[in-house]
Amino acid sequence: MKMTPSGRYAPLSFIRLLPDSPFRANMERDLCYLRKLDPDRMLYNFRAAFGVPTDAEPIYGWDAPDGLLRGHSTGHFLSALAIAVSATGDGELREKLAYTVHELHALQRTAKGRARDFKTACTPEDCAQEKWSRDPSTWGEGFLSAYSPDQFALLEQFTPYAKIWAPYYTLHKILAGLIEAYERTGNEEALDAARGIGGWVEDRLSPLSPEHRKKMWSMYIAGEFGGMNESLARLALLTGEERFLRAAKLFDNENIFPGLSEGEDTFHNLHANQHIPQIMGAMLEYEATGETSYRRIANSFLGQVFAHHMYSIGGVGQGECFREPDSLARYIKEVTNCETCATYNLLKLARELYAFDPERADLMDYVERALINHILASQNPDGGEHETNAVTYMLPIGPGAEKEYSNDWWAFTCCHGTGMENHVKYPDAMLFDAGETVYLNQYLPAEYKGEDFRLLCNTAFPRGEGRITVESDRAFTLRLRIPRWCRENPFTADGLTTAGRWAKIEVMPGTPVEIAVRFDYRPRLEYTPDLTEDGHRLASLLYGPFVMVTFDDSKEYLSIPARADAETIEGECAIRYGGREFVPMYQAHNRPYHTYFKVK
């Protein structure tokens, strides 16, 4: 039995970010990059794999012509283009998306045979790429990738990373991009290509025993499959075809799902971004089947992440892995904290859970935290000539850390790929329409013009003040999230009432509503649950929704007082606290900074 969400998010096609905000500025840089990217370069490896000549130059990084993960960035490119078209209506980007989809589909149609019949000439001990198949007529109908199916066959032989590299992860990015192209722009060819991939996966995996698949999915990175269960369940919901739901269930991770369903932490010390998308997949399987265990898995996972694994900026992990519960301070000095991809996927998961329980303000508190302090902070506003959408892989939080960024053509990594998407979809969880109730969850400077109501959120970010205006052709209750960090009533309007984490006002047809907004920013410390090796508890300084950092190149922890007045620096979202100047994390670029401190 399918489960229907409690409402729907306001589509990006009806929301426009207002000028003169860092969200809009980041978005414009991302759009500039998407216009700059040459689709023929993004198609280079696919054409090479299928034996189709091309004069284009390849791309590099993990998508280099000999890279084992090549093709994954083209999937992100599809997703980013689809999101950007929805967010802007840009005709040039729509044409670029349609061209890329068409060329991929043309290659896919040359793949013949049955997926399960493909055999590799390689073994785990002897798997040089020179031995990979070059005959698409043997690859299986529906196959589409930037390399032959040999990596998939080698995974079935339990070939470890880095002899192979996560073939289903790459396939998921391509499949997700095609589904985004269909859902956001109505591209029917993209849906047909997605159905082909789904059919290939179902035919290839269904002969394998549950024990065989369980061992595959437990393999570090080699067995990483992204959100294959998410995209296949979504494909089942879009098409009504049961075979795609069967295929989605083939990716249920029996190593972690059963324990999570019972409230256990089964993911500590595991690769973070290998597993977060699987939990998102569980939510889509819940929607497609109504099986409550899937929803329990997602709630259990996210609850434990929030309580025991999350840093102040909303990021997780060290060295790409979750560590022991409540072990944060001991890993902060490492430079490999808070992989940006992981936060991208946690945001998707929080958004999906919220759609079935829109009273859960805590989920939208997380979205606010991670969006402002990690995603907004992950793009360099001062990039050079070849750094149009320069984004972080890790966002380090140790003493004297400094962000490192990608570039246009030579640093195609997983986080460069999600970075193409992140900055064109800031408002995608802003408004949730549940019929009789509409929830305003994020106070981004933006305007929504829907079919039966209009909402202007004219907030002066980052100052936290402004005006919300609503005009409607229908009656509904507007509920406004009161941020957890806000200690006093942040709203002023006739007829406005507050209860717990929400304020509400009745909206009537033909009667405009205006709500004055002024959020109360005060400093507060958020402590780590554990101590450093030398016995100190660490804390981040927050000011309203902002994680505040101070510039200093020392590699040792600085100290700040447990209590001090905050003096606002005129004209800036900056403060003086304990004798030091602090700015929000999203303003910290190209200089070393401190995020965590010893507390006097």
Quick check: 455 and 432 in contact, CB under 8 A? no
Percent residues over pLDDT 90 in the chain: 94
Q: Give how many domains the chain has, as a whole number.
A: 3
Residue 60 has pLDDT above 90, yes or no: yes
Quick check: 386 and 408 in contact, CB under 8 A? yes
- Which of the four pLDDT bands, split at 50, 70 and 90, describes residue 499? confident
Residue 592 lies in a domain: yes
Query: Which residue segment(s) compose the domain that 478 sits in?
Result: 431-518
The mean pLDDT of the chain is 96
What gap in Å lies between CA 372 and CA 377, rounded to an integer?
A: 7
Q: Do both 506 and 534 map to the same domain?
A: no
Angle at 554 between CA 552 and CA 556, to 5 degrees: 125
Residue 359 lies in a domain: no
Amino acid at 137: S
What gap in Å lies between CA 185 and CA 191, rounded to an integer?
A: 11
Relative to beta strand 431-433, strand 465-472 is unpaired
Q: Nearest 5°: phi and psi at 91?
A: -70, -35
pLDDT of residue 571: 67
pLDDT of residue 259: 97
**Cis peptide bond prior to 162, omega within 30° of 0:** yes
Residue 77 lies in a domain: yes
- Element containing residue 559 per DSSP (H, E): strand 559-560
pLDDT of residue 145: 98
Residue 179 has pLDDT above 80, yes or no: yes
CATH number of the domain at 450, please. 2.60.40
Residue 487 has pLDDT above 90, yes or no: no
Q: Do both 445 and 587 map to the same domain?
A: no
Residue 57 has pLDDT above 80, yes or no: yes
Q: Do both 49 and 191 map to the same domain?
A: yes
Residue 435 has pLDDT above 90, yes or no: yes
Q: Nearest 5°: phi and psi at 201?
A: -60, -45
**Which candidate, 181, 159, 7, 172, places its Cα nearest to that of 79?**
181
- For residue 438, how many other CB atoms are within 10 A of its CB? 25
Angle at 227 between CA 147 and CA 33, to 5 degrees: 70
Picking from 493, 518, 543, the residue at the C-terminal end of a domain is 518
Q: Do both 498 and 588 map to the same domain?
A: no
Q: Do both 231 and 190 map to the same domain?
A: yes
pLDDT of residue 155: 98
Picking from 479, 502, 518, the residue at the C-terminal end of a domain is 518
pLDDT of residue 582: 97
Residue 326 lies in a domain: no
Residue 353 has pLDDT above 90, yes or no: yes
Amino acid at 42: M
Q: Where are the alpha helices (DSSP H) in 125-271?
A: 150-156, 167-185, 188-205, 210-217, 228-239, 242-249, 257-261
Rounded to the nearest angstrom, the gap between the alpha carbon of residue 407 and the centroid of all alpha carbons in its chain is: 19
Residue 98 lies in a domain: yes
pLDDT of residue 600: 86
pLDDT of residue 488: 79
pLDDT of residue 489: 81
Question: Which long-range contacts link 265-269 to residues 24+ away (Cβ below 8 Å)?
Answer: 265/304, 265/308, 265/325, 267/301, 267/304, 267/322, 268/309, 268/322, 268/323, 268/324, 268/325, 269/321, 269/322, 269/323, 269/324
Residue 474 lies in a domain: yes
Q: What is the pLDDT of residues 65-100, one digit of tens each?
A: 999 999 999 999 999 999 999 999 999 999 999 999
Would you call 214 helix, strand, or coil by DSSP?
helix
More confident residue, 250 or 564: 250
What gap in Å lies between CA 13 and CA 340, rounded to an integer?
A: 25
Amino acid at 396: P
Residue 12 has pLDDT above 70, yes or no: yes
Quick check: 471 and 452 in contact, CB under 8 A? no
Residue 331 lies in a domain: no
What gap in Å lies between CA 318 and CA 339, rounded to an integer?
A: 8
What is the pLDDT averaged over residues 13-41? 97
pTM: predicted TM-score of the whole model, two decimal places: 0.98
Q: Do both 568 and 504 map to the same domain?
A: no
- Which of the four pLDDT bands, split at 50, 70 and 90, describes residue 334? confident
pLDDT of residue 30: 98
Q: Do both 66 and 162 map to the same domain?
A: yes
Q: Nearest 5°: phi and psi at 420?
A: -65, -30
Picking from 251, 276, 305, the residue at the C-terminal end of a domain is 251
Q: Do both 468 and 537 map to the same domain?
A: no
- The beta strands (E) that lie in 296-452 are given as 431-433, 437-440, 446-449
pLDDT of residue 564: 86
Q: Nearest 5°: phi and psi at 454?
A: -130, 140
Q: Do both 556 and 445 map to the same domain?
A: no
Q: Do both 504 and 537 map to the same domain?
A: no
Residue 29 lies in a domain: yes
Please list, in sequence order, all residues whose beta carbon lies within 8 angstroms of the beta carbon of residue 443, skipping any fewer than 6 positions away: 457, 459, 461, 464, 517, 519
Q: Do both 480 and 542 map to the same domain?
A: no
Q: Do both 477 and 533 map to the same domain?
A: no
Rounded to the nearest angstrom, the gap between the alpha carbon of residue 512 and the centroid of all alpha carbons in its chain is: 35
